[in-house]
Every structure is written in structure tokens, then in C-alpha cells.
Structure 1
């Protein structure tokens, strides 16, 4: 469901001029009743899509995340981060709903919602409203390009692990990355997502089947659990935070799914789609991190598939199959930043041009080049995952939803003793701290490894 992030930028962009209510958001207008969805999804279909959208490469990195946090600390904090992500997603969806009521529009995109919220928030925040869509788009684009970098390194590392068993292992990771350039360019040049749909289905089948193989390996010959430390160091904890946030946060998927439901009111609530899906996903991620770290300890790698015995056929097969699934997913992830940049910032400057398709292909190829340059410069899978999780999702998934809720509730709906104000400020501080600390730890580790030449 990676392509669902696209729909963040769907409807609502030209509807600001419609009639507004008194700003309370409690009038009789219900945005859910006015949504026109061509193929609305049921609650069960939405749940399946949510699970599919959350189960990507992040789950394979959870054992390494636990290595950075410690066994007990990782166990507790993964549940806490899962709960935090779920709560902030509720905050975001509910804030967007209130804004839709105020503007009397059925749907607003994330950048539009942020702009409108800031315009009605505290006076000190209103000057930033005009820049907020650009900021949200910036984080969305960086996040999506970051995922593409993760996918490139993931595919290259897993292919290298297989091929090294049959050929000269002196071939470097850089060479394997370069070998995949043309295939990645070709898949990112597919302009119609419908053409990718059958391949996406194949990728999902491979992904879910792969979990069975992972379980086969990790549950064999588990060592004494007392050999694993309960707590990691303070320095490595931000790396755990970034990886876990990258794995669990599904802000793009969630908004798109809620916007396309047949019964959107079934999305929230104690037993709604979001809570059920996130509880299942969090438990699965905790299980993968806990058992994987228990099995491999300090040897846990950025993808648990790299810990499997290199000489065994099953391990080779799962690396190749998972690489195929991730390669296909690159086409979906790469589509998102291209769509944002093309339709929002570039197309308006090319009006009347008879070479629109040529320029679009230039953009598509250029975005692939950017991700490859980054992957070639810093081919560190685990640190890539942690860096983009901490830098982008601390903002998109924690700080921005809190800012939006604060503005939506301002000034007279902040609860007894301004409890909502205090809570949202705490979330904003936490998000910014996670962004800064996680990014600093990741960049420090990247510099250290590059200095030592430890990139393969």
C-alpha cells in the first residue's frame, strides 16, 4: 500500500472559497457524507491495506533496533512508540475532520490542512501558515526518496550476499548498486500505477510468505536469553527510536485509507480499524525485534535476512524473492515524490510546452539518479532507515499532528486547565527532540563508518 501516500494530495485544493461555519466545527455538515470515492473500501479491506502498508523493510530491521536499545528496553519502548504513533494518527485524522467541517469540504490534503490550521491558530504561528505546505511537502519528498535509498541498498546487499557464494566476493557493494541502476530507472519510468498493480500483488504475496521463512530460522536453537543485555546505551537509543519510528509510523497510508473508506467513522474508536491494525502491527514488530535479537544478539544486521546461513538454498531464495518484492515497491515509492514535485511545483511552469512528457521523464530519471548518488555515497542500510525515520517521521507523525490539533482547538477548546495545550506542546518538544537526537546519532555513526571505510 506504499502508493497510498499519493492520495494525501487528492481532493480539496480548490475549495477554500466555500461557505464556512462559525469555526466551532460542530455544525450539521458531515464531510464523510459528501465524499465521492470511486471504489470505497470496507472496514476489513481497509484493515488489510493498513497491515500491508505497515509491513515493509522496517520489520526486517527490528532485531538491529533491539540491539541498539537492549532486550527489555526495546520491548517496552516499541510498545510505547507504537501507542504514540497510533495516538498521533488519531489526532491527525480528527483534526483534519474538524477542518473539513469548518470549510465545508469533504477532504483536505495534509499540506492544506496544516496551512488552514495555522491560519486559525495562535497569533505567533500564523505568519508560518503560507510556508507550511512547502515544509510538509519537503518532509514527504525527503521521506519518500529516503525510502527509495533504503530499497536500493537493501536489494544490492541481499543480491551480493547470494552471488558472493558463487563468484568472486571481492566485488564491492558499490558495484552491485551500480548494476541495479538501469532496472530501477525503468521501473520508475512507469507512469501508470495500474501497470504496476499485478506486480504489487506479487510483491505482497512474497512479503507475507517470507515471514514464514524468517520464523523458521529465528526459532531454531535460541541461546540463553540472559546473554542479551536488558538495556543499551543512551548514545545508541536514538538509533533505535529512528528505526522503530520508520517501521511503525504509517502517516501517509493512514490518511489515504481513511479518505477512501465506505464508512469512515469505523476508522477511529477503541475497536476501529486504526487501533486493531496498529495493535497487530506493533505486536508483530515487537515479536520480530525480540526474537530476532534473542537469536542473533550483537550480530543482528540491518536486515535479518542477512543473518541467515549464506550457503543454504532457502536463505538464498528468500533474499532473492524479498529483493524482487522491494524492487517492485521502489516503483510505487518513487512515484510519490515525482507526483508531488511534478504536479505541485513544476507543471505550472511548463504550461503550453509540447515537451511535457519529456520533462516528466527527465524528472523521473533525475529522482532515481539522486537516490543512487545517496545510496552510493552512504550505502549503510540500517543507518539510512534510522536517519529517515528520525528526521522525517518525528515531524510528519508526531510534531505536525500536535501542532495541527493545538491550532484547531485554539483558543477556547483546550480542555480543563489547558490540558490539550500542555499535551500538544509536550508532543511537539518530543518530536523535535527525536528529530534532532536521532539525526545527530545517525549522522555521527555515518561519519564514523565512512571515516573507517566500514561501508560494506
Structure 2
């Protein structure tokens, strides 16, 4: 461990410009003071970015999530899942801070943190340390590509809903997905995120304007609330869990935001950026799910925009505008897996090549192809959302942070009665159960719908 600590310390000093002679001991080292971020963000800017990262297609799927849980279950358990996500994010950020402090480096990535934590954890977990970065990267890549699949299907479904009102051509959803391939390739070939910044601002404006239109529709002629089922079935509850987790969890965004803050200590705490942002997001999601399900009941669709009257101009406009916003966001979401695959796995095998840019574009186009193949194979928007939420975020957002905290505090800092150990084991079991149950329910539903030819 001492050699590993020294190695990490030297890498951190070299990478981030830390003067290791200033470091006199673990208790004296504050990683936040040694971070050198080129363009640090303020607390308010970080909060805005957090809201932006959480408000995607997931919020439009909340009425269908409530349909799978029932009104009362949906209301209660959305708050529970929101609180759980927030707590696990705190656990993850604090564990990473402790590791940075222990090994005297300003910043550690999620995969690096997982590896180092396992190396210092219980002996039964240490053999898995060398494989853990690949596992974390796998879930991160699958999750981000899954978001891209959701975006493709979302755009195609909403464009089809509008086009069907104006054309007599009976194009299928598959054809609309194929027609959007080139635009998605082009936006994913933008290598510099700064070029996407103006479009991202436009997407944010469209997104928040869309919420106003959604409220306009859902609050009109609300039915008697007693007609809406209070409880769903045990079989469909995992679908609710996956969708809600997909909507609320933003583990990749949170780590990046905390690492780029001007005052990272303002991220945590009772009134910190994370709590304020997650409370706002959770309340917004609960409101959307509650009122949307109250309005449309069992007719709630995978995106609430698909429930709006197809013949009305306002409904058509919001479908088009929101599709544009989601299309722009595809470039941002696809940027993450491409960066991981390119910088972590491919670049080291291409050193000295004079065709690095060509290979990077090959990777970007291949990533789009993979997401389109999945979208074409399983064009089921709601189940896509639930599947990737249950499969990826149960691990990344719940189980892995608990494993990391357990290892970081092992063996002498587990609290009275080993309460930290008990709590983390419970979180790990819950995360694995959510992954297995949610994935099983989603895959079962996907098979049934594909067998019956139901693509809506």
C-alpha cells in the first residue's frame, strides 16, 4: 500500500501541479486547495448545471412511471428514491474526498477511486481491485450510450407523431429512426464542446419553455382523482423503480461538477448545491408524475408529449422543439462514452499514429451506429428508460458508492456497532436487487411487446 500511495501522490503532483513539499501529513492535506481548474464554476453556476443535467427525457416519462406504481406508491417512493440518490451521491463524493486526502492527490476519477478503495478494503474484495475500473467504465459507457438510445427513440417518436398529421405517407417508426441517422452522426462528430455551448443554451431555453406548455395541458379538465389507482402491481413496480432512478440519478454529472467547482466545500452540506438541486429536481419530478398520471391515468405514454392532442398546433410545436433540444443533448451525452473509450482504452494503442483524428472519428461514428442498432432493435422508449436506469444506475448510483465507503472506512472507522458496515451492506443488497429485478421486469416486458408487435 505504501508504494501505491507514493505512486498516486507522484502522479497527482505531476498531473495537477501539486507541490508535494508543502504536504506535511494526511491531516494537513486538503485536496480542494490543490486543485487547479482552468475555468472553475461558482455555486450558482454549478446548481444550474446540475439542474440541466437532471432535466432530460426522464421527467417526461414520470407519468408512465406512476402508472407502473400507482398514485400513492409513486408519490411516496419517488421521494424515497430521490432521498436515496442524494444520500448515495454524498457518500460517493465524501469517499472520493477521503481517498484524495489519504493519497494526497487533488482529484481522482470514479474508476480510479473504486480501484484504490478496494485495495484498502476487506481482504475478500482486494482481488477485484484491478478489475474494478473496467467494471465502472463499462457501466458508465453502457449508461451513457443507453441515454443516447433513449434520445434517438424519443426524437423519432415525436417527429412521427407530428408528421403523421401532415402527410399521407405511412412511414414506420423504424424509417423515421433511419432518416435521423446522418444528423446524429454529424452532431456526434463535433469534437469541441465549446461549439455546442450556444446550442446547449438554446436547448435549455426550449426545455424550460416546454414545461410551461406541459402544465398548460395537464392542468386542463383534471378528472376525479378517486378514479386513478392508488397502487400498482408488484410485477410492474421494478419498471417504476428503473424509470425513476434513470430520471433522478446523475452520478456522472455530479462528479464532474464537484471536481470543477471554485469552492467544492459548498457542494455538500445541508444547504449545499447537491441538496438544493436534488430537492428541487425531486419535487419537480413528483409533480410531473403525479399531475400527469392524474390527467391521463392508464393512457399515460412513455413521453407525456405523446399524450397531447395531435391535431393542435401548440402540441405539435412543443414536440418539435423538445425533439430539437434532445437532439442537441445527444452530442453532450455521447461525448462522455467517447471520451472514456478514446482516452482510456484506444489512445494508448495508437501512440505515434499520424491518423489519430481519423480513428477518433471512426470511434464517434461507430458509437452512433451502436446506439442506432439498439434503437432499431428495441424501439420501446419507456422500457428503454427503465432498463438502463435499473441496470446501470442501481450499480453506479447505489451499490458502488456503498462498496467504496465500506472500503474507505475499513476496518477501524465503521462507527458504533459497525453501523456503517451494516448500512453499506444493506445498500449493496438493495442496489443489486434493484438491478436484477428491474432488468428482469424490463427484459420480460420487452420480449412480450416485441413478440406481440407492440412498438409503442
TM-score by length of 1: 0.95
Q: Cα 1:294–1:157, aligned 2, differ >3 Å: closer, same or farther?
A: same
Pairing 1:35-434 to 2, within 5 Å after superposition: 35-168=35-168, 170-434=170-434
Provide structure 2 residue ranges, at least 5 long, that are not aligned to the other structure: 1-7
CA deviations over 1:150-206 (Å, ceiling 9, x no partner):
000000000000000011262110000000001001111111111111111101110
Q: How far is the alpha carbon of 1:52 from its aligned partner?
A: 1.2
Preserved contact between residue 26 and residue 104 of structure 2 (Cα < 8 Å): no
Preserved contact between residue 146 and residue 371 of structure 2 (Cα < 8 Å): yes
Q: How far is the alpha carbon of 1:14 from its aligned partner?
A: 3.2
Q: How far is the alpha carbon of 1:351 from its aligned partner?
A: 1.3
Q: How far is the alpha carbon of 1:26 from its aligned partner?
A: 5.7
Preserved contact between residue 91 and residue 402 of structure 1 (Cα < 8 Å): yes
Preserved contact between residue 60 and residue 304 of structure 2 (Cα < 8 Å): yes
Q: Distance in 2 between matches of 1:84 and 1:16?
A: 35
Structure 2 match to 1:8: none
Structure 1 match to 2:3: none
The reply on whether 1:15 has 2:12 as its aligned counterpart is yes
Structure 2 match to 1:4: none
Q: Distance in 2 between matches of 1:327 and 1:161?
A: 16
Preserved contact between residue 387 and residue 443 of structure 1 (Cα < 8 Å): yes
Q: Distance in 2 between matches of 1:272 and 1:370?
A: 38
Q: Distance in 2 between matches of 1:302 and 1:395?
A: 24
Q: Name the SS for the 1:261 alignment partner.
A: coil
Structure 2 match to 1:7: none
Q: How far is the alpha carbon of 1:359 from its aligned partner?
A: 1.1
Q: Name the SS for the 1:135 alignment partner.
A: helix
Q: Distance in 2 between matches of 1:170 and 1:201?
A: 35
Aligned length: 443
Q: Distance in 2 between matches of 1:133 and 1:90?
A: 20
Preserved contact between residue 116 and residue 129 of structure 2 (Cα < 8 Å): yes
Q: Distance in 2 between matches of 1:12 and 1:102?
A: 9
CA deviations over 1:28-71 (Å, ceiling 9, x no partner):
10011111111211111111111111111100000000000000
TM-score by length of 2: 0.95
Q: Distance in 2 between matches of 1:412 and 1:184?
A: 51
Q: Distance in 1 between matches of 2:427 and 2:169?
A: 48
C-alpha RMSD of the superposition:
1.7
Preserved contact between residue 12 and residue 107 of structure 1 (Cα < 8 Å): no
Provide structure 1 residue ranges, at least 5 long, that are not aligned to the other structure: 1-10
Q: How far is the alpha carbon of 1:389 from its aligned partner?
A: 0.3
Preserved contact between residue 78 and residue 282 of structure 1 (Cα < 8 Å): yes
Q: Distance in 2 between matches of 1:13 and 1:398?
A: 31
Q: Name the SS for the 2:165 alignment partner.
A: coil
Q: Cα 1:56–1:394, aligned 2, differ >3 Å: closer, same or farther?
A: same
Q: Distance in 2 between matches of 1:245 and 1:251?
A: 11
Q: Distance in 1 between matches of 2:117 and 2:355?
A: 38
Q: Name the SS for the 1:353 alignment partner.
A: coil
CA deviations over 1:290-337 (Å, ceiling 9, x no partner):
000000000000000000000000000000000000000011111111
CA deviations over 1:383-425 (Å, ceiling 9, x no partner):
0000000000000000000000000000010000000000000
Q: How far is the alpha carbon of 1:15 from its aligned partner?
A: 2.9
Preserved contact between residue 13 and residue 109 of structure 1 (Cα < 8 Å): no
Q: How far is the alpha carbon of 1:283 from its aligned partner?
A: 0.3
CA deviations over 1:184-242 (Å, ceiling 9, x no partner):
01111111111111111101110011000000000000000001111100000000000
Q: Cα 1:129–1:19, aligned 2, differ >3 Å: closer, same or farther?
A: farther
Q: Distance in 2 between matches of 1:13 and 1:137?
A: 24
Q: Distance in 2 between matches of 1:14 and 1:295?
A: 56
